Structure formats: C-alpha cells, structure tokens
Structure 1
C-alpha cells in the first residue's frame, strides 16, 4: 500500500485500500453453539464484581488473622471456635467460601467451553464441575452453620 500526497489539497490519498480479512475459520458441527440471552454477560460482570469483593475479603482475612491476631501459631480449634461464635465472622467466611467457589466454577466453565471440542466432553466436564461446586458449597456452609465447639 502506498500513500501519496495530493498536489491540490496536500492531503494523503490511498492508492491501494487494505484487503478484507476473512475470519480465521468457519463454524463446524464441532464448534459450540453461541448461546442466546445475557447469561455470558452476567457471568462476565459477576467475575469482575466477585473478584474485587474477593480481593477485599482475602486481604482483610489475611491482615486480621495473620498480622493483628498473632500469626498462624495461634490458629487452632479453639481459635476457630472463638471466631465462629460471632455472626460477623461466620458471614465473612461464608461469603468468602461462596464467592470463591462460584468465581472459580464460572472461570472453569469458561475454560471448558473454550477448550473442550466435543459436546459430550463439555457436558461431562461441566456436570463434574457443577457437582463438585455444589457439594463443596453445601458442605462448607453446613460446617460453618453447624460448628459445635463443645465436641467431646
């Protein structure tokens, strides 16, 4: 492509316009279908918001647990029992658990959609991911709400 100056107006004129670039590949039967609706948009927004909230929760957790409360040497069963006696700390830990699991699951869902080529493989990987996520969230929530410091 060459650009020359037009002698009348002293402005550049393009002799050869840029070629049209074709898409790198066409959709095939193995390419995942594009979903309709706004689910992907909501997932994208959730990742940004949950990431910011998680950074604040985790940094706060680390500062309070490790710096202000004397470090990891104080963490034990009694320490956790004392923490979870307060609804504030139960809510803090529950929010960290839920956001971390849902944030991670949404990220892995995106990776599975991007890299699993066969529909059957995508289905089973996502089924395994959703099952593990639900199991972990339910078990973690159960532990936080039913924690008994008086185990004998």
Structure 2
C-alpha cells in the first residue's frame, strides 16, 4: 500500500448526500424524548406514589378511574406512552442496524419493530381515551359490591 492509495485526512470518501438526514433526527429525538420522559415518568411516580395518602397501597381501580376521568392525566399518560414506545423502538432500530449484518434480516426486524410499536401505541391510546370505569359495574357483570357501584349508578341516572 502506498501513500497514493490512502485518502487524505478529512477528505470526503463519497459525495455528501442531499436530503433529510434521518439518523440525525433519530439521534436528536432520543435526546429530547429522554429528557421529556424523565419529567413525565417522575411526575407520574410522584402523583401515584407520594400524593395519595397510603402511597402505593392507595392505587386501585378507583384511583386509576379517577385519574383517567381527567383529560390532563389522559394526555399526560398518552404523551408518556407515545414518547416511550417511539424512544424504545428507535433504540431497538439502532441496535438492529448496528449488529445485524444481512440487509434482508435487518429490514425485516426493523419492520417488525415499527409494526409492534405502532400497534402498541394505537392500543394504549385507545385504552386511555375509551376507558370506562363503569363497564364492569353494570350490565352482564353487575357487581353491587364494587367501590364504583354508587358512583356509576349516579352517573347513569344523569
């Protein structure tokens, strides 16, 4: 190997690509979403573990139903869900791109990651926004012993 065979330092090996740099945007997303997730998760933990009297023992179906009755907490949890799944899927995509050699297998795995993350985001969002605490209290599963029975009965009367 001669000096002529070596590329000059800091010279481009190939022409610069034009267009959107998805790797750069993925890298930026990981940093921004990581910071937001820290705030959202610690806020979530504080409200669920420190605020209610009794700590973790106060968390039951009625507690969750009360939180999901508020649009603020619905959006808080949905934002946390979306950021976490996209953050995790992007991290898994990076790992697959780093360690999987075959292009076909890499493409298939990244496709599976995208489909699973999208499915979980859709299902999680549906659960948060369509949550009905009275669904199991009346109807075929009527349960007069439920903590929510009186509340749901009053809500049904209105």
The two structures have a TM-score, normalised by structure 1, of 0.75
Which residue number corresponds to residue 84 of structure 2? 100
Once the two structures are superposed, the pairs formed by residues 1-150 of structure 1 within 5 Å of their partners are 37-69=20-52, 70-150=54-134
Spell out, residue by residue over 1:62-117, the C-alpha distance to the aligned partner (whole angstroms, 9 max, x if none): 11110111322111111111001101100100000000000000111011111000
**How many Å apart are 1:36 and its aligned residue?**
6.2
Larger radius of gyration: 1
Equivalent-residue separation in structure 2 for 1:57 and 1:122 (angstroms): 32
Partners of 1:72 and 1:107 in 2: CA distance: 31
Q: How many residues are aligned here?
A: 122
Length-normalised TM-score, structure 2: 0.72
1:36/1:107 Cα in 2 relative to 1: closer, same or farther (>3 Å)?
Answer: farther
Gaps of 5+ in 2: 1-5, 7-16, 138-158
CA distance in 1, matches of 2:60, 2:121: 22
Give 1:35 deviation, angstroms: 9.9
Q: Cα RMSD over matched residues?
A: 2.0
Which 10-residue stretch deviates more, 47-56 or 66-75?
Answer: 66-75
Query: Can you list the C-alpha shifts for 1:2-29, whole angstroms capped at 9, x where unaligned?
Result: xxxxxxxxxxxxxxxxxx8xxxxxxxxx
